[in-house]
Amino acid sequence: MTRVCVTGGNGFLGSAVVSRLAADPGVSYVLSLDLREPDPEREIDGVEYALGDINAPYLDTLLADHRIDTVVHLAAIVNPGRDTTREQEYQVDVIGSRNVLSACVRSGVKHVVISSSGAAYGYHPDNAPWLKETDPLRGNDEFAYSRHKRLVEEELARLRTEHPELRQTIFRIGTILGARVRNQITALFDARRLLRVAGSESPFVFIWDQDVADAMAQAVVTGRTGVFNVAGDGALTVREIAALTGKRTITVPAPLLAAALWAGQKLGLTVHGPEQLRFLRYRPVLDNTALKEEFGFTPSRTSREAFLEFRKARDAERVRQG
């Protein structure tokens, strides 16, 4: 019977993972650790909720006191606010992750499940058409989240050599969609016309939020280790997404979009600069073969099905709001 701590357990993904683990008969104890109080409407009977900072020096004591043997580490700044600095993001994403991993080693935790990202591969024109887990991690320095995921994975690689007793399951996750997801990517799909960079198909791979939670719960209960891309089958280009939503695309030449982003950032109209062009043009497309054949998990929805479910939820929300 596994005793689990979920960092970032009160967040969007964390709440889904905590709920899934709490319902699993193979899990005897769930500790949700977060800086934020849980939403009262989403608190789960039997789950222990603790307020705490992943950078805190007492983290190893907390894990030991609760007799935690498995940590699911989700805490990260995925959608930084306009006033969030890169140093703040680094402190949470990288320093915080190092502190969690160090606390796991010191407190005798046996297994850690990590939410990495396809962003760790980086946004590069020479990325493989379908990225496998053996492809190099080249998270771009200009994208904080991409760089930070690469750095955390480098730390994990070091620990696999120095502390092999701490077993690792690393999930490189594609674009997560769900009924309540709102971020910079879904904002692209909510626009009246979908932005397309001239000469780039910009394919997306999607994964439904409950599939991510189910995969993490499976890792916790089975103890299966390794590195796995997490995405639904197939990919969707911007043109295909436009066809599914009945929207038109607006195609902008890359130099013009870079200039517009530069001007918008200078004027304070957007937090994104011209480096965002790489994010839009060279998206990492994840091959999920290892997830299905080695880890033993097949997502319930393909990329197309996940997107259609997401749009259905958005349409229902608009109807409710009148």
Question: Hey, CA dihedral for 80, 83, 87, 91, is it positive or negative?
Answer: negative
Classify residue 268 as left (phi > 0), alpha (psi -120 to 50) or beta. Answer: left
- 42: pLDDT strictly greater than 90: no
Asked whether the beta carbons of 70 and 3 are under 8 A apart, the reply is yes
Buried b (16+ CB within 10 A) or exposed e, 44-73: eeebebeebbbeeeebbebbeebebbbbbb
What was the pLDDT predicted at 183?
Answer: 81
- 185: pLDDT strictly greater than 80: yes
Bigger pLDDT: 260 or 64?
64
What was the pLDDT predicted at 120?
Answer: 97
Instruction: Quick: pLDDT tens for 131-143.
Output: 999 999 999 999 9
Strand partners, 252: 197
pTM of this prediction? 0.94
- 205: pLDDT strictly greater than 90: yes
| Residue type present at position 237 | T
Alpha carbon separation from 71 to 68, 75, 170, 261, 292 (Å, rounded): 7, 11, 12, 40, 23
Question: Could you give the domains of the chain?
Answer: 2-178+206-231+285-299 (3.40.50.720)
Instruction: Quick: pLDDT tens for 244-299.
Output: 999 999 999 999 988 988 888 787 777 778 888 888 899 999 999 999 999 999 99
Alpha carbon separation from 86 to 7, 142, 149, 185, 269 (Å, rounded): 21, 10, 14, 20, 19
- Report the distance separating Cα 51 and Cα 12, nearest Å: 16
Quote the strand ranges of 219-283, DSSP E. Answer: 226-230, 248-252
Instruction: Quick: pLDDT tens for 227-238.
Output: 999 999 999 999
